[in-house]
Amino acid sequence: MTGFLGQAYIWVLILHILSIITWMAGLFYLPRLFVYHAQANPTGEPAETFKVMERRLLKAIMNPSMIVAWVLGLALALHIGAFTQGWFHGKLLLVVIMSALHMAMGKWRKDFEAGQNKHGHKFYRIINEVPTVTLILVVILVKAKPF
């Protein structure tokens, strides 16, 4: 590769992939925690444990992973000139959707923490599928480059 990253390209790519893995793990796991939290007694000990788990997952793993994935992903896109390619536009749209879902999960976590959850466990079960479908589409776009 002859882009601005030079020899660092492979290491930036590796770090990008690792940050995506940790971000996606959080996007898969947090809604599952919400399912169990929505089923728990809101004033019981399990609910308090879920609050701690959800906060730590979001703040210590998901938020930093998303930021690193975005920064390194944009650097890689600049390096390979992806901004002019159709597949990248599709990928970028899907990553924006995942980021919006991430932010929605942050709001739902705050709602749980305040004792103001507005959704039932079935809602979170459905939401739990969105990151999977989105990830599949992103991988297809990146590897197959259909347009």
What is the structure's pLDDT at 100?
A: 98
pLDDT at position 3 over 90: no
pLDDT in tens, 122-146: 999 999 999 999 999 999 999 999 9
Q: 0.75 cut: is pTM over it?
A: yes
Is residue 81 scored above 80 in pLDDT?
yes
Q: How confident is the model at residue 2 (pLDDT cuts 50, 70, 90)?
A: low
- Residues annotated within the binding site are 16, 91
The 3-state secondary structure of the chain reads CCCCCHHHHHHHHHHHHHHHHHHHHHHHHHHHHHHHHHHCCCCCHHHHHHHHHHHHHHHHHHHHHHHHHHHHHHHHHHHHCHHHCHHHHHHHHHHHHHHHHHHHHHHHHHHHHCCCCCCCHHHHHHHCCHHHHHHHHHHHHHHHCCC
Domain segments of the chain: what residues? 6-144
pLDDT at residue 1 tops 60: no
Lowest mean pLDDT segment, chosen from 28-32, 40-44, 58-62: 40-44
Annotation: binding site for heme = 16, 91
